[in-house]
Amino acid sequence: MNQHSTQASLPLAGLLVLDFSQFLAGPSAALRLADLGAEVIKIERPDGGDLCRSLVVADQRVDQDSALFHTINRGKKSFAADLKQPDDLARVKALVTQADVMIHNFRPGVMDRIGLDAQTVMALNPRIVYAAVTGYGEHGPWRDKPGQDLLVQSLSGLAWLTGNAGEHGGGAPVPTGVSVIDVITGAHLVQGILAALLRRGVSGQGGQVDVSLLESAMDLQFEPFTAFLNSDRTQPARSVENHANVHTAAPYGIYQTRDGFIAIAMTPMDRLAELIASPALAAQAGDAGTWFSNRDALKQTLQAHLVQQDSAHWLAALEPAGVWCADVLTWPQLTEHPAFTALDMTQTIHSPDGQAMQTTRCPIRLDSQRLTNSRGAPRLGADTETIAQTFGLPQLRTTTS
Protein backbone atom coordinates (compact mmCIF):
# COMPACT_ATOMS: atom_id res chain seq x y z
CA MET A 1 0.00 0.00 0.00
CA ASN A 2 3.05 2.26 0.16
CA GLN A 3 3.76 3.94 -3.18
CA HIS A 4 5.53 6.98 -1.73
CA SER A 5 9.26 6.50 -1.72
CA THR A 6 9.49 8.31 1.61
CA GLN A 7 6.01 7.78 3.06
CA ALA A 8 7.22 6.88 6.53
CA SER A 9 8.42 10.43 7.11
CA LEU A 10 5.57 12.17 5.32
CA PRO A 11 3.83 14.59 7.66
CA LEU A 12 0.30 13.21 7.32
CA ALA A 13 1.24 9.50 7.43
CA GLY A 14 -1.33 7.56 9.47
CA LEU A 15 -4.22 9.96 8.87
CA LEU A 16 -7.40 8.67 7.23
CA VAL A 17 -9.35 11.04 4.97
CA LEU A 18 -12.79 10.25 3.53
CA ASP A 19 -13.48 12.31 0.43
CA PHE A 20 -17.12 12.55 -0.67
CA SER A 21 -16.45 15.46 -3.03
CA GLN A 22 -16.46 15.64 -6.82
CA PHE A 23 -14.86 17.69 -9.60
CA LEU A 24 -12.00 19.98 -8.55
CA ALA A 25 -12.10 22.10 -5.39
CA GLY A 26 -12.74 19.31 -2.86
CA PRO A 27 -10.79 16.58 -4.68
CA SER A 28 -7.79 18.90 -5.14
CA ALA A 29 -7.73 19.44 -1.36
CA ALA A 30 -7.83 15.67 -0.78
CA LEU A 31 -5.08 15.30 -3.38
CA ARG A 32 -2.80 17.60 -1.40
CA LEU A 33 -3.52 15.63 1.77
CA ALA A 34 -2.64 12.43 -0.12
CA ASP A 35 0.57 14.01 -1.45
CA LEU A 36 1.49 14.88 2.14
CA GLY A 37 1.01 11.26 3.21
CA ALA A 38 -2.61 10.80 4.28
CA GLU A 39 -4.61 7.76 3.21
CA VAL A 40 -7.44 9.18 1.12
CA ILE A 41 -10.54 7.12 0.34
CA LYS A 42 -12.98 8.49 -2.20
CA ILE A 43 -16.56 7.57 -1.31
CA GLU A 44 -18.31 7.30 -4.67
CA ARG A 45 -21.73 6.45 -6.06
CA PRO A 46 -21.64 2.91 -7.51
CA ASP A 47 -23.17 4.16 -10.78
CA GLY A 48 -20.50 6.33 -12.34
CA GLY A 49 -18.81 7.70 -9.25
CA ASP A 50 -17.14 11.14 -9.29
CA LEU A 51 -18.58 12.89 -12.35
CA CYS A 52 -15.02 13.90 -13.25
CA ARG A 53 -14.41 10.26 -14.28
CA SER A 54 -16.38 10.94 -17.45
CA LEU A 55 -15.23 14.54 -18.00
CA VAL A 56 -12.83 13.99 -20.88
CA VAL A 57 -10.73 16.94 -22.05
CA ALA A 58 -8.23 17.00 -24.92
CA ASP A 59 -9.67 13.61 -25.87
CA GLN A 60 -7.50 11.97 -23.18
CA ARG A 61 -8.57 8.78 -21.39
CA VAL A 62 -6.41 6.54 -19.22
CA ASP A 63 -7.57 3.08 -18.21
CA GLN A 64 -11.37 3.42 -17.76
CA ASP A 65 -11.54 7.10 -16.85
CA SER A 66 -10.67 10.57 -18.09
CA ALA A 67 -7.01 11.59 -17.80
CA LEU A 68 -8.32 14.63 -15.95
CA PHE A 69 -9.72 12.34 -13.25
CA HIS A 70 -6.30 10.68 -12.89
CA THR A 71 -4.68 14.11 -12.65
CA ILE A 72 -6.84 15.15 -9.71
CA ASN A 73 -7.26 11.80 -7.97
CA ARG A 74 -3.86 10.17 -8.18
CA GLY A 75 -2.81 8.26 -5.10
CA LYS A 76 -6.33 7.84 -3.70
CA LYS A 77 -8.51 4.76 -3.10
CA SER A 78 -12.15 4.26 -4.09
CA PHE A 79 -14.98 2.88 -1.96
CA ALA A 80 -18.33 2.52 -3.74
CA ALA A 81 -21.41 3.28 -1.67
CA ASP A 82 -24.94 4.40 -2.39
CA LEU A 83 -25.65 6.75 0.51
CA LYS A 84 -29.38 6.25 0.00
CA GLN A 85 -29.09 2.50 0.76
CA PRO A 86 -29.20 1.81 4.52
CA ASP A 87 -26.61 -1.00 4.30
CA ASP A 88 -24.13 1.15 2.40
CA LEU A 89 -24.76 4.07 4.70
CA ALA A 90 -24.09 1.88 7.75
CA ARG A 91 -20.73 0.88 6.26
CA VAL A 92 -19.84 4.50 5.51
CA LYS A 93 -20.80 5.48 9.05
CA ALA A 94 -18.52 2.74 10.37
CA LEU A 95 -15.72 4.26 8.28
CA VAL A 96 -16.58 7.73 9.52
CA THR A 97 -16.09 6.66 13.13
CA GLN A 98 -12.49 5.71 12.26
CA ALA A 99 -11.60 8.67 10.05
CA ASP A 100 -9.57 11.76 10.92
CA VAL A 101 -11.02 13.98 8.19
CA MET A 102 -14.03 13.98 5.91
CA ILE A 103 -14.58 16.30 2.95
CA HIS A 104 -17.72 16.90 0.94
CA ASN A 105 -19.04 19.44 -1.55
CA PHE A 106 -22.73 18.59 -1.59
CA ARG A 107 -25.06 21.55 -1.81
CA PRO A 108 -26.38 22.91 1.51
CA GLY A 109 -28.94 20.52 3.02
CA VAL A 110 -27.99 17.34 1.17
CA MET A 111 -25.85 15.86 3.97
CA ASP A 112 -28.60 16.65 6.51
CA ARG A 113 -31.07 14.57 4.49
CA ILE A 114 -28.57 11.71 4.20
CA GLY A 115 -27.78 11.87 7.91
CA LEU A 116 -24.11 12.71 7.49
CA ASP A 117 -24.33 16.36 8.52
CA ALA A 118 -21.62 17.82 10.75
CA GLN A 119 -23.61 17.50 13.96
CA THR A 120 -24.46 13.81 13.41
CA VAL A 121 -20.96 12.93 12.25
CA MET A 122 -19.24 14.74 15.11
CA ALA A 123 -21.51 12.92 17.56
CA LEU A 124 -20.38 9.63 16.00
CA ASN A 125 -16.73 10.71 16.01
CA PRO A 126 -15.82 13.73 18.14
CA ARG A 127 -12.22 13.64 16.85
CA ILE A 128 -13.13 14.06 13.18
CA VAL A 129 -12.43 17.22 11.19
CA TYR A 130 -15.56 17.76 9.10
CA ALA A 131 -14.75 19.87 6.03
CA ALA A 132 -17.20 21.23 3.48
CA VAL A 133 -16.94 23.26 0.28
CA THR A 134 -19.93 25.20 -0.98
CA GLY A 135 -20.31 27.70 -3.79
CA TYR A 136 -21.60 30.64 -1.78
CA GLY A 137 -21.95 29.57 1.86
CA GLU A 138 -24.82 27.79 3.59
CA HIS A 139 -27.11 30.82 3.78
CA GLY A 140 -28.15 33.77 1.68
CA PRO A 141 -29.85 34.17 -1.70
CA TRP A 142 -27.17 32.32 -3.68
CA ARG A 143 -27.00 29.18 -1.51
CA ASP A 144 -28.60 27.03 -4.23
CA LYS A 145 -26.76 28.59 -7.18
CA PRO A 146 -24.35 26.23 -8.96
CA GLY A 147 -20.88 26.54 -7.45
CA GLN A 148 -18.72 26.55 -10.56
CA ASP A 149 -15.39 28.24 -11.25
CA LEU A 150 -16.33 30.39 -14.27
CA LEU A 151 -19.55 31.52 -12.60
CA VAL A 152 -17.71 32.56 -9.44
CA GLN A 153 -15.00 34.34 -11.45
CA SER A 154 -17.90 36.27 -12.98
CA LEU A 155 -19.91 36.98 -9.83
CA SER A 156 -16.93 37.89 -7.64
CA GLY A 157 -15.67 40.72 -9.84
CA LEU A 158 -12.50 38.85 -10.82
CA ALA A 159 -13.36 38.85 -14.54
CA TRP A 160 -13.50 42.67 -14.53
CA LEU A 161 -9.87 42.89 -13.36
CA THR A 162 -8.39 41.13 -16.39
CA GLY A 163 -8.13 42.21 -20.02
CA ASN A 164 -7.97 45.67 -21.53
CA ALA A 165 -10.55 48.37 -20.91
CA GLY A 166 -11.98 50.60 -23.61
CA GLU A 167 -13.56 50.15 -26.97
CA HIS A 168 -10.38 49.75 -28.98
CA GLY A 169 -8.73 47.23 -26.69
CA GLY A 170 -11.90 45.21 -26.25
CA GLY A 171 -13.41 46.14 -22.95
CA ALA A 172 -15.12 42.85 -22.13
CA PRO A 173 -14.52 41.19 -18.76
CA VAL A 174 -11.99 38.38 -19.24
CA PRO A 175 -11.96 35.14 -17.24
CA THR A 176 -8.65 33.65 -16.16
CA GLY A 177 -7.97 30.60 -18.32
CA VAL A 178 -7.52 28.14 -15.46
CA SER A 179 -9.93 27.14 -12.68
CA VAL A 180 -8.22 29.53 -10.32
CA ILE A 181 -11.16 29.78 -7.88
CA ASP A 182 -11.47 26.01 -7.51
CA VAL A 183 -7.75 25.71 -6.90
CA ILE A 184 -7.50 28.50 -4.32
CA THR A 185 -10.62 27.24 -2.52
CA GLY A 186 -9.14 23.76 -2.32
CA ALA A 187 -5.94 25.30 -0.96
CA HIS A 188 -7.88 27.15 1.74
CA LEU A 189 -9.72 23.96 2.66
CA VAL A 190 -6.40 22.20 3.21
CA GLN A 191 -5.23 25.07 5.43
CA GLY A 192 -8.39 24.84 7.54
CA ILE A 193 -8.19 21.06 7.84
CA LEU A 194 -4.52 21.06 8.88
CA ALA A 195 -5.13 23.87 11.39
CA ALA A 196 -8.05 21.96 12.91
CA LEU A 197 -5.89 18.82 13.12
CA LEU A 198 -3.21 20.82 14.96
CA ARG A 199 -5.84 22.06 17.41
CA ARG A 200 -7.00 18.46 17.89
CA GLY A 201 -3.47 17.58 18.92
CA VAL A 202 -3.95 19.89 21.88
CA SER A 203 -7.67 19.55 22.65
CA GLY A 204 -8.44 16.01 21.48
CA GLN A 205 -11.50 17.41 19.72
CA GLY A 206 -12.13 17.61 15.98
CA GLY A 207 -13.96 20.52 14.42
CA GLN A 208 -15.82 21.89 11.47
CA VAL A 209 -14.13 23.64 8.54
CA ASP A 210 -16.13 25.51 5.91
CA VAL A 211 -14.96 27.29 2.79
CA SER A 212 -16.84 28.55 -0.23
CA LEU A 213 -15.80 29.46 -3.74
CA LEU A 214 -17.05 33.02 -3.29
CA GLU A 215 -15.28 33.71 0.01
CA SER A 216 -12.07 32.26 -1.41
CA ALA A 217 -12.51 34.37 -4.56
CA MET A 218 -12.68 37.51 -2.42
CA ASP A 219 -9.59 36.43 -0.49
CA LEU A 220 -7.76 35.90 -3.80
CA GLN A 221 -8.59 39.53 -4.65
CA PHE A 222 -7.96 40.87 -1.14
CA GLU A 223 -5.27 43.34 -2.20
CA PRO A 224 -7.16 45.36 -4.83
CA PHE A 225 -10.55 44.64 -3.21
CA THR A 226 -9.41 46.23 0.06
CA ALA A 227 -8.34 49.35 -1.87
CA PHE A 228 -11.81 49.39 -3.41
CA LEU A 229 -13.52 49.03 -0.01
CA ASN A 230 -11.65 52.08 1.28
CA SER A 231 -12.27 54.21 -1.82
CA ASP A 232 -15.40 55.93 -3.09
CA ARG A 233 -16.38 52.43 -4.24
CA THR A 234 -16.40 53.04 -7.94
CA GLN A 235 -15.06 50.17 -10.02
CA PRO A 236 -11.30 50.64 -10.54
CA ALA A 237 -10.36 51.12 -14.19
CA ARG A 238 -8.25 48.73 -16.23
CA SER A 239 -5.62 50.08 -18.63
CA VAL A 240 -6.78 50.51 -22.20
CA GLU A 241 -3.66 48.72 -23.44
CA ASN A 242 -1.26 46.19 -21.94
CA HIS A 243 -3.44 45.88 -18.86
CA ALA A 244 -2.11 43.80 -15.99
CA ASN A 245 -3.33 45.27 -12.70
CA VAL A 246 -5.87 47.99 -11.89
CA HIS A 247 -3.57 49.67 -9.36
CA THR A 248 -0.15 49.60 -10.98
CA ALA A 249 1.45 52.43 -12.91
CA ALA A 250 3.09 52.17 -16.32
CA PRO A 251 4.96 50.17 -17.51
CA TYR A 252 3.51 47.17 -15.56
CA GLY A 253 2.23 44.82 -18.27
CA ILE A 254 2.96 42.51 -21.19
CA TYR A 255 4.25 44.07 -24.45
CA GLN A 256 4.48 42.81 -27.99
CA THR A 257 7.96 42.77 -29.51
CA ARG A 258 8.96 42.12 -33.09
CA ASP A 259 9.04 38.37 -32.54
CA GLY A 260 7.01 37.76 -29.39
CA PHE A 261 6.08 39.30 -26.06
CA ILE A 262 7.90 40.44 -22.92
CA ALA A 263 6.61 41.34 -19.45
CA ILE A 264 7.88 44.39 -17.58
CA ALA A 265 7.06 44.84 -13.88
CA MET A 266 7.42 47.94 -11.68
CA THR A 267 10.14 50.12 -13.24
CA PRO A 268 10.77 53.89 -13.19
CA MET A 269 9.61 55.13 -16.58
CA ASP A 270 12.43 57.65 -17.06
CA ARG A 271 15.04 54.97 -16.44
CA LEU A 272 13.20 52.60 -18.78
CA ALA A 273 13.09 55.23 -21.53
CA GLU A 274 16.85 55.64 -21.20
CA LEU A 275 17.57 51.91 -21.27
CA ILE A 276 15.51 51.29 -24.39
CA ALA A 277 16.73 54.52 -26.00
CA SER A 278 13.31 56.02 -26.64
CA PRO A 279 13.41 59.85 -26.73
CA ALA A 280 9.63 59.90 -27.22
CA LEU A 281 9.10 57.98 -23.99
CA ALA A 282 11.72 60.05 -22.18
CA ALA A 283 9.90 63.23 -23.16
CA GLN A 284 6.62 61.84 -21.83
CA ALA A 285 7.98 60.18 -18.69
CA GLY A 286 9.51 63.10 -16.85
CA ASP A 287 7.06 63.36 -13.98
CA ALA A 288 6.77 60.24 -11.82
CA GLY A 289 3.41 61.51 -10.61
CA THR A 290 1.93 60.78 -14.05
CA TRP A 291 3.10 57.18 -14.37
CA PHE A 292 -0.23 55.98 -13.00
CA SER A 293 -2.64 58.70 -14.13
CA ASN A 294 -1.17 58.80 -17.66
CA ARG A 295 -0.43 55.09 -17.93
CA ASP A 296 -2.47 54.50 -21.10
CA ALA A 297 -0.53 57.05 -23.14
CA LEU A 298 2.81 55.98 -21.66
CA LYS A 299 2.10 52.32 -22.39
CA GLN A 300 1.12 53.22 -25.94
CA THR A 301 4.43 54.98 -26.57
CA LEU A 302 6.34 52.15 -24.94
CA GLN A 303 4.49 49.52 -26.99
CA ALA A 304 5.16 51.38 -30.24
CA HIS A 305 8.86 51.36 -29.43
CA LEU A 306 9.17 47.77 -28.20
CA VAL A 307 7.51 46.25 -31.25
CA GLN A 308 10.45 47.38 -33.36
CA GLN A 309 12.98 44.88 -31.97
CA ASP A 310 13.02 41.24 -30.89
CA SER A 311 12.39 40.12 -27.30
CA ALA A 312 16.02 39.02 -26.89
CA HIS A 313 17.21 42.51 -27.81
CA TRP A 314 15.11 44.14 -25.10
CA LEU A 315 15.83 41.54 -22.44
CA ALA A 316 19.54 41.98 -23.09
CA ALA A 317 19.15 45.73 -22.54
CA LEU A 318 16.93 45.51 -19.47
CA GLU A 319 17.86 42.43 -17.43
CA PRO A 320 21.52 43.34 -16.80
CA ALA A 321 20.32 46.81 -15.71
CA GLY A 322 18.21 45.21 -13.00
CA VAL A 323 14.82 45.87 -14.61
CA TRP A 324 12.24 43.25 -13.59
CA CYS A 325 11.32 41.79 -16.96
CA ALA A 326 10.84 38.40 -18.54
CA ASP A 327 10.04 36.55 -21.71
CA VAL A 328 6.42 35.37 -22.11
CA LEU A 329 6.74 31.65 -22.68
CA THR A 330 4.39 29.04 -24.09
CA TRP A 331 4.44 25.61 -22.46
CA PRO A 332 6.57 24.11 -25.26
CA GLN A 333 9.14 26.88 -24.68
CA LEU A 334 8.97 26.51 -20.90
CA THR A 335 9.22 22.73 -20.76
CA GLU A 336 12.27 22.75 -23.04
CA HIS A 337 14.05 25.34 -20.89
CA PRO A 338 16.79 24.12 -18.50
CA ALA A 339 15.23 26.23 -15.73
CA PHE A 340 12.10 24.10 -15.92
CA THR A 341 14.09 20.87 -16.01
CA ALA A 342 15.94 22.01 -12.89
CA LEU A 343 12.62 22.17 -11.01
CA ASP A 344 11.94 18.45 -11.54
CA MET A 345 8.26 19.40 -11.34
CA THR A 346 6.77 16.45 -13.23
CA GLN A 347 6.30 12.83 -12.28
CA THR A 348 5.06 9.63 -13.91
CA ILE A 349 1.96 7.97 -12.49
CA HIS A 350 0.56 4.57 -13.37
CA SER A 351 -3.09 3.72 -13.86
CA PRO A 352 -4.60 0.42 -12.66
CA ASP A 353 -4.01 -1.17 -16.07
CA GLY A 354 -0.36 -0.15 -16.01
CA GLN A 355 -0.51 2.81 -18.40
CA ALA A 356 1.92 5.59 -17.60
CA MET A 357 1.07 9.27 -17.71
CA GLN A 358 2.94 12.45 -16.85
CA THR A 359 1.62 14.99 -14.38
CA THR A 360 2.87 17.55 -11.88
CA ARG A 361 4.00 16.71 -8.36
CA CYS A 362 3.14 18.39 -5.05
CA PRO A 363 4.59 21.95 -5.23
CA ILE A 364 5.74 21.85 -1.59
CA ARG A 365 9.21 20.53 -0.79
CA LEU A 366 9.82 19.06 2.67
CA ASP A 367 13.31 18.74 4.16
CA SER A 368 14.62 19.44 0.64
CA GLN A 369 12.74 16.38 -0.69
CA ARG A 370 10.30 16.51 -3.57
CA LEU A 371 7.12 14.57 -2.77
CA THR A 372 6.11 12.14 -5.49
CA ASN A 373 3.64 9.27 -5.63
CA SER A 374 3.48 7.06 -8.67
CA ARG A 375 -0.01 5.65 -8.06
CA GLY A 376 -2.69 6.83 -10.48
CA ALA A 377 -6.36 7.18 -9.65
CA PRO A 378 -8.34 4.09 -8.60
CA ARG A 379 -11.04 2.39 -10.62
CA LEU A 380 -14.51 3.06 -9.23
CA GLY A 381 -14.99 0.88 -6.15
CA ALA A 382 -11.64 -0.87 -6.62
CA ASP A 383 -10.86 -0.81 -2.91
CA THR A 384 -14.36 -1.41 -1.50
CA GLU A 385 -13.81 -4.96 -0.30
CA THR A 386 -10.26 -4.44 0.96
CA ILE A 387 -11.38 -1.40 2.92
CA ALA A 388 -14.42 -3.29 4.30
CA GLN A 389 -12.07 -5.96 5.64
CA THR A 390 -9.33 -3.63 6.87
CA PHE A 391 -11.75 -1.42 8.79
CA GLY A 392 -14.10 -4.21 9.93
CA LEU A 393 -17.15 -2.74 8.23
CA PRO A 394 -20.57 -4.44 8.61
CA GLN A 395 -21.48 -7.09 6.00
CA LEU A 396 -23.79 -6.05 3.18
CA ARG A 397 -27.11 -7.89 2.99
CA THR A 398 -27.32 -6.88 -0.69
CA THR A 399 -24.55 -5.97 -3.08
CA THR A 400 -24.61 -2.53 -4.63
CA SER A 401 -21.44 -2.63 -6.62
Closest of 370, 371, 376 to residue 348, by C-alpha: 376
C-alpha–C-alpha distance, residues 344 and 338, integer Å: 10
Nearer to a copy of itself, 210 or 274 (CB): 210
Nearer to a copy of itself, 19 or 149 (CB): 149
Count Cβ neighbours within 10 Å for each residue of 300-324 and write b for 16 or more, e otherwise.
bbbbebbeeeebebbbebbeeeebe
State the Cα torsion 109-112-116-118 to the nearest 10°.
80
Nearer to a copy of itself, 18 or 33 (CB): 33
- Coil, strand or helix: which one is 157? coil
Closest of 367, 324, 370, 325 to residue 343, by C-alpha: 370
Shortest distance (Å) from residue 283 CB to a copy of itself: 25
Closest of 108, 81, 85 to residue 20, by C-alpha: 81
Please tell me what DSSP assigns to residue 158.
Answer: G
Nearer to a copy of itself, 46 or 137 (CB): 137
Shortest distance (Å) from residue 54 CB to a copy of itself: 12
Centroid of chain to Cα 84: 31
Active site includes 367? no
Please identify which of the residues 182, 259, 287, 367 carries the catalytic annotation.
182
Shortest distance (Å) from residue 399 CB to a copy of itself: 33
Nearer to a copy of itself, 237 or 280 (CB): 237
Shortest distance (Å) from residue 366 CB to a copy of itself: 6
C-alpha–C-alpha distance, residues 13 and 6, integer Å: 10
C-alpha–C-alpha distance, residues 213 and 24, integer Å: 11
Closest of 33, 24, 106 to residue 57, by C-alpha: 24
Shortest distance (Å) from residue 391 CB to a copy of itself: 22
- Coil, strand or helix: which one is 207? strand
Please identify every residue annotated as catalytic: 182
